[in-house]
């Protein structure tokens, strides 16, 4: 499976030279237990097309927003505890995490408790993005990315800047910052637009539909949204289950 590498890749990956793509991603997960994609189908696509991005709201041990940018056949990933801010004066911490497979961008559901990242995952925003540099590789290595998002919630120009001393290869801390442009505002986007762009669901509704920990998931939703759900349960946004969804009947799991 690792032997299809000789094909020249689109760009060098200066981030972790010598490491097979997705090795860390796969090492952390048991694909017999989680419905997250294994990335087996990952690879560079030959057809030129816009690069995709996704932000997944993830109520794991802590709530965070995973920002993922497609580059060189994988999704470069950062965990943003407070989520993005449209206010250019606000810098949001973004911790670099392992690359994810491209198929991960479509993942919404429940990771079983006890597994890596156990909790509820929502596709909070998605779309395409345009990097300012034609080759993102050197920009990632340098720790300074500029890009424009064309999402359903997020638009306009953004920056990701690595913090810490220059040349500090080990620093996983970055800052996510909105540039000043027409899409900048002081609206609290994470509170005002809390639902999935894929299914319209809140975290609690995803957990209800897919056998997750509803109480835990609900702590990631805005309290007033949960209140109106409790007052009128018919508002539950349900969606047809995908045929290939796997159900984990974790008996006894909280």
Reading the block at residue 168, the tokens are: 């500090």
User: Would you give the binding string for Mn ion spanning residues 42-61, x where CB under 5 A is met?
Assistant: ----------------x---
Complex with Mn ion: residue 88 or 212, whichever CB lies closer: 212
Q: Is 48 exposed, middle or buried (0-12, 13-18, 19+ CB in 10 A)?
A: exposed
The least CB distance from residue 38 to Mn ion, in Å, is 17
In the complex, least distance from residue 60 CB atom to Mn ion, rounded to whole angstroms: 6
Minimum CB distance to Mn ion smaller for 100 or for 139: 100
Residue nearest to Mn ion (CB): 58
Calpha distance 125→154 (Å, rounded): 7
For the chain, strand residue ranges (E) read 51-59, 63-71, 74-80, 91-101, 109-111, 119-131, 144-151, 155-162, 173-178
Residue closer to Mn ion (CB basis): 58 or 195: 58
How far apart are alpha carbons 237 and 234 in whole angstroms?
Answer: 8
Which C-beta is closer to Mn ion: that of 58 or that of 201? 58
- Listed in sequence order, the residues at least 6 apart from 60 whose beta carbon sits closer than 8 Å to its beta carbon are 111, 117, 118, 119
Q: Smallest gap, in angstroms, from Cβ of residue 3 to Mn ion?
A: 31
In this complex, which beta carbon is closest to Mn ion, that of residue 67 or of residue 197? Answer: 67
Q: Quick one: which of 42, 54, 66, 136 contacts Mn ion (CB under 5 A)? A: 66
User: Should residue 29 be labelled a site residue for Mn ion when binding is judged by CB under 5 A?
Assistant: no
Q: How many residues bind Mn ion (CB under 5 A)?
A: 2
CB of 5 to Mn ion, least distance (A): 28
Q: Shortest Cβ distance from residue 64 to Mn ion (Å)?
A: 6
Coil/strand/helix, residue 142: helix
60-72: b (≥16 Cβ within 10 Å) or e:
beebbbbbbbbbb
Q: Cβ closer to Mn ion: 36 or 66?
A: 66
Q: Please report where in the chains the tokens 């991603």 appear, as a residue.
A: 25
Question: Closest distance between Mn ion and the C-beta of residue 253, in Å?
Answer: 19
Summarize as ranges the residues that interact with Mn ion (CB under 5 A): 58, 66
């Amino acid at each position: 499976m690792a032997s299809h590498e000789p094909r020249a890749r689109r760009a060098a990956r200066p981030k972790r030279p010598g490491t097979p793509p997705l090795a860390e991603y796969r090492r952390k997960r048991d694909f017999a237990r989680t419905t997250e994609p294994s990335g087996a189908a990952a690879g560079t696509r030959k057809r030129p097309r816009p690069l995709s991005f996704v932000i997944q709201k993830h109520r794991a041990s802590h709530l965070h927003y995973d920002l993922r940018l497609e580059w060189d056949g994988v999704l470069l990933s950062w965990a943003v505890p407070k989520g993005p801010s449209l206010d250019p004066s606000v810098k949001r911490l973004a911790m670099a995490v392992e690359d994810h497979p491209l198929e991960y961008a479509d993942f919404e559901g429940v990771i079983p408790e006890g597994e890596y990242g156990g909790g509820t995952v929502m596709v909070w925003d998605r779309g395409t993005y345009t990097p300012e540099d034609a080759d993102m590789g050197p920009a990632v290595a340098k720790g300074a990315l500029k890009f424009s998002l064309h999402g359903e919630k997020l638009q306009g120009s953004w920056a990701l800047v690595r913090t810490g001393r220059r040349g500090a290869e080990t620093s996983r801390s970055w800052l996510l910052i909105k540039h000043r442009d027409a899409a900048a505002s002081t609206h609290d986007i994470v509170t005002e637009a809390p639902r999935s762009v894929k299914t319209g669901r809140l975290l609690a509704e995803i957990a209800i539909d897919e056998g997750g920990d509803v109480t835990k998931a609900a702590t990631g939703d805005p309290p007033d949204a949960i209140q109106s759900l409790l007052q009128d349960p018919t508002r539950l946004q349900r969606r047809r289950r995908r045929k290939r969804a796997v159900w984990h009947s974790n008996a006894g799991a909280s």
